[in-house]
Structure 1
């Protein structure tokens, strides 16, 4: 019997790319969305759709208990279509709530269901000012102010909840994604100090599942503001990975 994965955010940009990768690798995937009209796309990608809101703790806990997954993957965000700049201010607060409250709900439910491993999406632009390229051991910008403080505080909460999974005998993996571009992201070309194609982001999650390695990993292209050495070394990840890579690409 294949391992079951509970993929929170299966209809999002990374989730949509990740679902067929997981299915193709032999996992049985249960993918969540808040929107009924997105369940058909999840099903078409080979996963079992689950309609649930991460802030509905009771329903979420029941869903995870019924699935009894070996692995939970957290790819939830709440961003406006095409990253509409007129709506991004509200999105900052919504994303911070997902990272703090939503992650806490996922981790609590995963623990209760006996899940062994949780992989979560974080971001690679929350570091405190310092020497670039930033490595995972460098501090986050906890002294930030304004909107950046909201974002960084959400990231700190998310990573704390996920990494605490290691303290109870599980495996907690945090993927600090760079600035996403590609299908579904609102950006067609590489942008930002640490660009990352959405397909390469999805591959990082698959490799994190397969390697079952705990800790924090920067996931961004070469010569970015952050170092991707650890992900290359410990996960076998490459920034040129795409959905149509050949079978030997993961070797």
Structure 2
């Protein structure tokens, strides 16, 4: 298949492209940098680029996270995705695979499944991030076939959670608390593998994360030990209701996907 990979020069894009090629697909890259740069906010440029590429599938792995500006990333998810989806539909593309996140669910007691509603009533800064997710997923649902990859918190080379990554600077500054909040994590290579597998998945959202949701009281100190930065003190108190982690049961049992690193403990050992 001809696959237009939006975000081809990003952390995930650089890992997805060779996997697609190795599987026999033709990859056309779309990114802000590279031989043929395209600004996803330039609607006319995106329409022209997708029309010229004539892809069978559009894979959306665009982010704006290099500086840690989550508001800018939410804007890209809303506005950039809208342009990309409109261009795909205009070009007759039937399938769109798009990056989403697994921590936008409403509060609850257990790890969220794909049937758990998104946190549409979230307050404050969280509303911005959830709004970005809604922008992505509502747009890609317009395609005849679509998959929203609800990734867990990514770690591994070139991510925020890596040796020398953004979080190694924020932890000593007290901005990564070891609290009771629960996260589901995912090695970046497992995220890339899932994106390729999703070419054959039925339409719908899929939680793509490891098998072991964990409180930050456990995984933050383990991450710090793995990258040789001082761990923050444990924060007492209950978790925030939405910080519940996510279940990968659907991906594992229904779709046959399983992570190479089923636990963040095994994945952190590679850092």
Q: Settle same-fold status: TM greater than 0.5.
A: yes
TM-score grouping bracket, smaller chain normalisation? 0.7 to 0.9
1:54 aligns with 2:40: yes
SS of residue in 1 equivalent to 2:84: helix
1:193 aligns with 2:183: yes
In the alignment, the residues of structure 1 paired with residue 58 and residue 136 of structure 2 have an alpha-carbon distance, to the nearest angstrom, of 14
Residue 247 of structure 1 corresponds to none
* Bigger share in helix: 1
Q: Which aligned runs of 4 or more in structure 1 are off by greater than 4 angstroms? A: none
Q: What's the offset of the Cα at 1:212?
A: 4.0
In the alignment, the residues of structure 2 paired with residue 234 and residue 15 of structure 1 have an alpha-carbon distance, to the nearest angstrom, of 26
Task: Flag the structure with larger Rg.
Answer: 2
- TM-score after normalising by structure 1: 0.81
Number of residue-to-residue matches in the alignment? 215
Residue 173 of structure 1 corresponds to 147
Match of 1:15 among 9, 13, 34: 13
| Contact kept in structure 2, 1:96 and 1:154, CA below 8 Å | yes
Q: What's the offset of the Cα at 1:142?
A: 1.1
In the alignment, the residues of structure 2 paired with residue 13 and residue 237 of structure 1 have an alpha-carbon distance, to the nearest angstrom, of 21
- Structure 1, unmatched stretches of 5+, are 40-48, 81-86, 243-251
Residue 2 of structure 2 corresponds to 4
- Structure 2, unmatched stretches of 5+, are 164-175, 177-181, 214-244, 263-271
Structure-to-structure mapping, 1:227-238, within 5 angstroms: 227-238=247-258
Q: What's the offset of the Cα at 1:157?
A: 1.4
Cα distance change of structure 1 residues 188 and 108 upon mapping to structure 2, 3 Å threshold: same
CA RMSD of aligned residues (A): 1.9
| Contact kept in structure 1, 2:210 and 2:261, CA below 8 Å | no
Residue 215 of structure 1 corresponds to 204
Q: What's the offset of the Cα at 1:241?
A: 6.8
Cα distance change of structure 1 residues 241 and 119 upon mapping to structure 2, 3 Å threshold: farther
SS of residue in 1 equivalent to 2:4: strand
Q: What's the offset of the Cα at 1:232?
A: 1.6
Structure-to-structure mapping, 1:4-153, within 5 angstroms: 4-35=2-33, 39=34, 50-80=36-66, 87-88=67-68, 91-153=69-131
